[in-house]
Chain A
Amino acid sequence: MAVTQRGEAAGRPAKGVRRVGASVGLSDEQLIEMYRMVALARAIDERMWVLNRAGRIPFVISGQGHEGAQVGITWALKKGHDWVAPFYRSIATAMTFGMTARDMMTAQYATANDPSSGGRQMPGHYGHAAHNLLSVSSPVATQILHAVGIALAAKIRKTGQVAMTFMGEGSSNQGDVHEGLNFAAIHKLPFVLVIENNGYAISVPSSKELALPDVAARASGYGIPGVVVDGADVLACYRASKEAVERARRGDGPSLIEAKVTRLTGHSSDDQQTKYRPAEELEAERSLDPLPKFREQLTAAGVLDEELIARIDAENKAVVDDATNFAESEPDPSPDNALEHVFAEGVEGTF
């Protein structure tokens, strides 16, 4: 994808906001690329729903509302070096970490060349070995232990890698989270746990999931830092992540980042959230959408202008169109190969 250069008409920056980018070490070009990624993840996500409602793909699980936190936090990692164990809403994380729009869309269509699983997993189970993005399952929070194990290997092998995992606040109640944080903290592993708190575990509000408002408060029980960030504030997310990643890479141990986000869609394409969320709440939470907030912030700072925004939107639409057409035309996997890859040697019974 071509990098759009700032146009002549970009206008003058508002200094207060520009300092935010500078204070976390990000150039205007990087800010534009971050915005492009937030917008692209949203565009892909919206296309998934269109395709689902049109009967082209059977299922969608969405990341709408989470993209700002995912892009800001994932941005602080070294692509192709560090590791991510994602969860089912990690569309923007997976793309920030190297997966392409075509990669994402082939997962929706479960094509033979879908790099996440070759059409074996439901959409939302993104993974890509070439990008150190670990394959994920559906039982929630299991991936924290994999990320902790990856961090353990990084420490023992002295690779300098950091492992980061993501999950919702509902998942944070699983026992694996306690076991993982405890072990990571004991061994000061280069590990970061990111909680994307959207206030709901499918239909159950966080007041019935957590006795405290913040998951991050639990970090003190493991003797590690736990911070709460506004998940609609991309740069605040980036700053928190950068600190956690640097701390991990220094050998000072794990951190917990809790990003407060909003879930703009139902849990999945099989869920109707108006059944359990008040209309006023849904309306109010539109204001927590990270996409317009980031756009306004960067526009006020003179990093974006209308022309550039329009150009990015058009380019993203072209990318999504291309990915959709590509995935539409790719073949399904064949039952002839469905017995393969149970083991490294091939089909069981042939060795």
Chain B
Amino acid sequence: MPTRTFIEAVREGLRDEMQRDEAVIVLGEDVGKKGGVFLATDGLYEEFGEDRVIDTPLTESQIIGTSIGAAVNGLRPVAEIQFADFIFPAFNQLLSEAARMRYRSNNTFGVPMTVRAPYGGGVHGALYHSQSVEAFFTHIPGLKVVIPSTPYDAKGLLRSSIRNDDPVLFFEHKKMYRSVRGDVPDGEFTVPIGRAQVTRQGTQVTVVAYGLMAHYALEAADRAADEDISVEVVDVRTLRPLDKETVLDSVRKTGKCLIVYEDNRFGGYGAEIAAIIAEEAFDYLDGPVTRIAGPDVPGVPYNHVLEDWFMVSPEKILDGIRTLAAY
């Protein structure tokens, strides 16, 4: 089976869907001749032309708002927000418009739109090129939020997102673009939205994570095994709708749960998972539901010492596993 980097899988997913369905267009800043600042759309302009690969002005609200309109009138836009940090000018269009169109029109209009955005830190991106923004969007009914961690899932979930009839936010951890490789089969396959995956079997502690943290969780689990701690890892993959059963099944088995997310801790996505476990698996718990997350500062600081301080690492996760296992 061929191996691909994460970014190659994204690019292939885009190209395959554009070949399969001429309603699929790509728009965003620098997505054309340059192929995107991370080269996610490299080659698409040459293959599909300027009608379907559109360089936009620096206008995030327009990128999303125009995509909503194009989706209403028969296209399947894939909008790229150059960095997730820059999505906020479009927040109103996502919250008030895209997410609500189907509900507010009583199912007479829908918005089949995918919004791709690189997120996450550990790349010397500082406050405005490092943020994890998922919690702003997982809070909103009407939006789907997908964060793949492997090239296979990236390609399969991107295809599913583009074919979905509702708005999907598709966040890609930029540190994984070239550092993560994996098997990606040729030909048609998809990964369904709304399914988590147990990526490592274990018995003593469940670690729930997504994106880059799903890799760090596996790394920490490997090292915990050297200390005879058996860790199960659940990669959420789709944050909303959440596959609650896969998470709850694992916690019911291990009795202990550590939730890992890179975003700052307070009100982060992991808080919702903790609440669900408390409500629906309380009787199975053999220790407190705990979180390893970013510190509550307004952004990731630039200096490498400070950035290392901010970032969740396999070591920090391992510490959390040890503490919980010993509880």
Using Cβ atoms and an 8 Å threshold, which residues of chain A touch B89? 175
In the complex, which residues of chain A have a beta carbon less than 8 angstroms from the beta carbon of B97?
137, 142, 146
Query: B62 and A145: CB pair below 8 A?
Result: yes
Candidate in A137, A150, A343 with the most chain B CB atoms within 10 angstroms: A343
Residue A310 at the B interface, CB < 8 A?
no
CB-CB nearest in chain B for A121: B104
The number of inter-chain residue pairs (CB within 8 angstroms) is 151
Given the complex of chains A and B, what is the CA–CA distance between A179 and B164 in angstroms? 27
| Inter-chain contact B67/A149, CB cutoff 8 Å | yes
Q: Which of A120, A148, A157 contacts B104 (CB 8 A)?
A: A120
Residues of A within 8 A of B105 (CB): 116-117, 127, 129, 135
A123 interface hit (Cβ, 8 Å) = no
For B93, the chain A residues whose CB sits under 8 A away are: 142, 145, 176
Q: Are A149 and B66 in contact (CB under 8 A)?
A: yes
Contact A341–B92 (Cβ < 8 Å): no
Contact A146 B68 (CB under 8 A): yes
Near B by CB (< 8 A), chain A positions 154-175 give 154, 156-157, 159, 161, 163, 175
Shortest Cβ distance from residue A237 to the other chain B in the assembled complex, whole angstroms: 24
Partner of A175, one of B52, B61, B110: B61
Residues on B with beta carbons closer than 8 Å to the beta carbon of A120:
103-104, 106
| B69 and A146 within 8 A (CB) | yes
B165 within 8 A of A: yes
> What range describes how many residues of B lie at the interface?
35 or more
B102 CB within 8 Å of chain A: yes
Please encode chain A, from 110 to 126, with 1 for each CB lying within 8 Å of some chain B CB and 0 for all others: 00001111101100010
Please, which residue of chain A has its CB at the minimum distance from the CB of B95?
Answer: A139
When the two chains form their complex, are residues B62 and A180 in contact, meaning their CB atoms are under 8 A apart?
Answer: yes
Beta-carbon contact of A150 and B59 below 8 Å: no
Q: Could you say which residues of chain A place their CB within 8 Å of the CB of B39?
A: none
* A343 and B104 contact, CB distance less than 8 A: no
Contact bitstring B95-128, A, C-beta under 8 A = 1, else 0: 0110011111111111000000000000000000
- State whether A176 and B61 are in contact (beta carbons under 8 Å apart), knowing that A139-B96, A153-B69, A351-B241 are contacts in the complex: yes
B102 contacts A145, C-beta separation under 8 Å: no
Known: A183-B62, A183-B66, A340-B107. A161 touches B73 (CB 8 A): yes
Complex alpha-carbon distance, A134 and B101, angstroms: 9
Contact (Cβ within 8 A) A150 B69:
yes
What is the number of residues of chain A that contact chain B, defined by CB distance less than 8 Å?
Answer: 50
Asked whether any CB of chain A lies closer than 8 Å to the CB of B51, the reply is yes
Residues of A within 8 A of B108 (CB): 115, 127-129, 135
Give the residues in chain A near B109, CB-CB below 8 Å. 127, 129, 134-135
With beta carbons under 8 angstroms apart, the residue of B56, B59, B70, B110 that contacts A153 is B70
Q: Which residues of B contact A147 (CB under 8 A)?
A: 69
Bound complex: CA A134 to CA B240 (Å): 27
- The answer on a CB contact under 8 Å between B57 and A182 is yes
A341 near B61 with CB under 8 A, answer no
Taking the complex as formed, is B71 at the interface, i.e. its CB lies under 8 A from any CB of chain A? yes
B151 within 8 A of A: no
Check A348–B69 contact: CB distance below 8 A: no
B281 contacts the other chain (CB 8 A): no
CA distance A157 to B69 in the complex (A): 13
In contact, B102 and A152 (Cβ under 8 angstroms): no
- B96 and A342 contact, CB distance less than 8 A: no
Q: Is the pair A341, B75 in contact by a Cβ cutoff of 8 Å?
A: no
Knowing that A153-B74, A348-B240 touch, tell me 14 more A-B residue pairs with CB under 8 angstroms.
A85-B69, A115-B106, A117-B104, A117-B106, A135-B105, A137-B100, A142-B97, A145-B69, A146-B97, A149-B65, A150-B70, A153-B75, A343-B144, A344-B110
A and B contact pairs by CB, cutoff 8 A, 5 listed: A85-B69, A137-B97, A146-B65, A161-B73, A183-B62
**5 closest A-B pairs by CB:** A149-B69, A145-B65, A118-B106, A153-B73, A179-B62
